């Protein structure tokens, strides 16, 4: 049947293996499960009625991602080695990657929800059915806690989990795309190193990258000195949250939903058993890396 459809739509593509959808952002894709073949048809060639019929016959994958010329230009620039976007200004741009759990949500509704959180115009570049990039001009950027609020709101309204990676603002130039590719790689690593984190930046990810790349001897040495963290998961979480909150007892107690006295008892227990003072910077850094290393095991 795909052969007949391929002949019917002159601009279509027939593939025996799953194609790289990034290079076919203007196509609808259909999978014939019995043969494993993929048929890509240019979106502009498919009428609404024909699309309904095709979706009932085959597994449908909508990768006709971009419709606005500005979004399409950015997609070509970032993902297909295209030219600089012609409408881009001589200002720094910040790229915020996002990755969502797939569900029954509609892309247009999701875009509208995203844009409602920003005071100024943004571009949303889709790189798949549930991931993409937010392009912001360098003005008053949203803070980390605001992206966390967006993630919580999307989960509440659309029942979808969303993670963000906030990039560094840069002006468009020869190295802009390389910076973005590096941030893509970091976001991928973050998905395995820090799967529970909803909002990530390089500074938050870097300590986990350090522990993940320690050689076996250093890992063994660090863990042997702080074996208590492996033996007591509650204490591990307490110490980690304490250090993440600048060793602020009140804030840590609030985050952990425990009384200050309970928190102080746990911290004193750690110091008593290890001899390590968490108020010392080098000690705190070492212990924090140990916490991350235990969680990565």
Which burial class, exposed, middle or buried, applies to 212 when counting CB atoms under 10 A from its CB (0-12, 13-18, 19+)? middle
> What is the distance between the alpha carbons of residues 188 and 183, in angstroms, rounded to a whole number?
9
- What is the three-class DSSP state of 35? coil
What confidence tens digit (pLDDT) does each residue in 225-284 have?
999 999 999 999 999 999 999 999 999 999 999 999 999 999 999 999 999 999 999 999
Q: What domains, with CATH codes, occur in the chain?
A: 2-62 (no CATH), 69-207 (3.30.70.270), 214-296 (1.10.10.2840)
Q: Which residues of the chain have pLDDT under 70?
A: 21-23, 25, 62-67
Looking at residue 260, what is its pLDDT? 96
What confidence tens digit (pLDDT) does each residue in 91-105 have?
899 999 999 997 778
> What is the distance between the alpha carbons of residues 86 and 83, in angstroms, rounded to a whole number?
8
> What is the distance between the alpha carbons of residues 274 and 264, in angstroms, rounded to a whole number?
15
Cα angle 284-143-127, degrees, rounded to a multiple of 5: 105
Q: Where are the beta strands (DSSP E) in 63-183?
A: 92-100, 123-126, 131-137, 162-166, 170-171
Residue whose C-alpha is closest to residue 137's, from 175, 89, 180: 89
């Amino acid at each position: 049947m795909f052969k007949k459809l391929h002949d019917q739509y002159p601009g279509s593509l027939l593939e025996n293996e799953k194609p790289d959808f990034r290079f076919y952002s203007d196509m609808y894709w259909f999978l014939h499960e019995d043969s494993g073949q993929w048929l890509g048809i240019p979106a502009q060639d498919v009428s609404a009625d024909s699309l309904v019929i095709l979706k009932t016959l085959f597994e449908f994958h909508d990768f006709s991602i971009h419709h606005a010329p500005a979004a399409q230009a950015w997609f070509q620039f970032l993902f297909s080695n295209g030219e600089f976007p012609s409408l881009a200004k001589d200002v720094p741009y910040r790229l915020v990657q996002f990755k969502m759990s797939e569900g029954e949500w509609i892309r247009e509704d999701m875009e509208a929800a995203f844009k409602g959180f920003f005071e100024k115009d943004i571009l949303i570049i889709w790189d798949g059915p549930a991931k993409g990039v937010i392009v912001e001009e360098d003005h008053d950027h949203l803070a980390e806690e605001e992206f966390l609020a967006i993630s919580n709101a999307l989960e509440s309204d659309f029942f979808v989990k969303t993670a963000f990676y906030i990039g560094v603002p840069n002006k468009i130039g020869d190295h802009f795309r390389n910076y973005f590719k590096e941030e893509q790689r970091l976001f991928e690593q973050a998905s395995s190193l820090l799967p529970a984190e909803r909002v990530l930046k390089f500074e938050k990810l870097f300590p986990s990258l350090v522990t993940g790349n320690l050689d076996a001897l250093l890992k063994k040495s660090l863990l042997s000195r702080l074996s208590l963290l492996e033996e007591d998961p509650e204490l591990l979480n307490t110490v980690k949250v304490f250090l993440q909150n600048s060793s602020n007892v009140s804030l840590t107690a609030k985050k952990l939903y425990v009384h200050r006295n309970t928190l102080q008892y746990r911290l004193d227990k750690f110091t008593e058993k290890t001899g390590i003072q968490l108020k010392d910077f080098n000690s705190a850094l070492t212990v924090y890396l140990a916490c991350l290393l235990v969680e990565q095991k």
